[in-house]
Amino acid sequence: MNDSGHYAGVIAKIPYLQQLGITAVELMPIQQFDPAEENYWGYNTLNFFSPHAQYSSNTAPGGPLDEFRSMVEALHKAGIEVILDVVYNHTTEGGCDGPTYCYRGIDNSTYYALDPNDMRSYINHSGCKNDLRTSHPVVRKLVIDSLRYWVHETNIDGFRFDLASVLAFADDGSLNLKDPPIISEITNDPELANVRLIAEPWAADGSAYVLGRAFPGKTWLQWNDHYRNTLRSFVKGDGNLVADLMTRLYGSTDLFPDDLINSCKRLQSINFIDCHDGPNMCDLVSYANDRFGSWNCGFQGVIPAAEFSDSPGIPPTR
């Protein structure tokens, strides 16, 4: 059986990952999402407690979980950590016109943040037509139980929280950055003490960009899109970026000052250049696209190796 596109397929790629010097892999959401969506993103979760069955070549009952465990074990044997991208800010049920699978049918007002002026309408900081009501203790328990499940049952090493600042909205609509209950419970849970906690510190609608602030606490890491944007622009050749580039390379001390008052250390910054939001690394430097910030170095498209040395302005290969 061809394991491409399955958990077992990751095992087959381990020698290649080792050759690249990879020490950790972050999987895009693998918690079960609606197969009818017909995509491979997985950002509209249906079940927070099971691996996506369609990513498993083992279709027997319990097969997807067994195959996922085998993948994690194989990566660990190769010295590679496994981090899960998790989406606890919304679900696949969408807005008023979305399907009813579970949470909406069980107790809509408990599981979802609703507009206090119109209880038929969903708050939508996630940009996906609904926000989970993580200010409610029942929803917080759901999230904590799910995190514990993945740690206990699969032995993964950490979590990257999609749109993490959405979790900090209170019932009155305010953004609680001082001590959001869900963040506090995750941070102080003894069963999660030894896993990596990584926040994407913004919301899809731009309402909660909190990179570098005290949220979500000094034990968390944060995706640093300032680093991404500066490095991309510098490579592209944009001007007046040397000072900003040095700030990014020296730990973004403007965002993560290493002092007691801010309690934010430079090691909290996850410096990245490329991710799932936009073109892959090859396309990033092969195609010009202002929307994604990609730049083609003057040559649109991937240049075949045979033609590379003959392209004007490009030094010959050695």
Among residues 162, 171, 179, 258, which one is catalytic? 162
Instruction: Specify the DSSP class assigned to residue 175.
Output: B
Q: Is 230 helix (H, G, I), strand (E, B) or coil?
A: helix
Q: What is the distance of C-alpha 71 from the center of its chain?
A: 20
- Under 8 Å CB-to-CB from 268, ≥6 apart: which residues? 218, 220, 221, 222, 256
Q: Are 88 and 132 in contact (CB under 8 A)?
A: yes
Q: Measured between alpha carbons, how far is 22 from 38 in angstroms, rounded to an integer? A: 29
Determine if residue 241 is left, alpha or beta; phi over 0 gives left, psi from -120 to 50 gives alpha, anything else beta.
alpha
Q: Supply 165's token pair.
A: 């600042």
**Apex CA 31: angle with CA 25 and CA 37, to 5°?**
110
Phi first, then psi: what are they for 145, rounded to 5°?
Answer: -60, -40
In the structure encoding, which two tokens stand for residue 215, read together?
């949220």
The residue annotated as part of the active site, out of 200, 254, 274, 283, is 200
Q: Is 200 designated active site? A: yes
How many CB atoms lie under 10 A from the CB of residue 1?
A: 7
For residue 162, indicate whether it is catalytic. Answer: yes
Say how many C-beta atoms besides its own lie within 10 A of residue 18's C-beta. Answer: 13
Per DSSP, 23 falls in state -
Tokens of 33: 């999402």
User: Annotated active-site positions, please?
Assistant: 162, 200
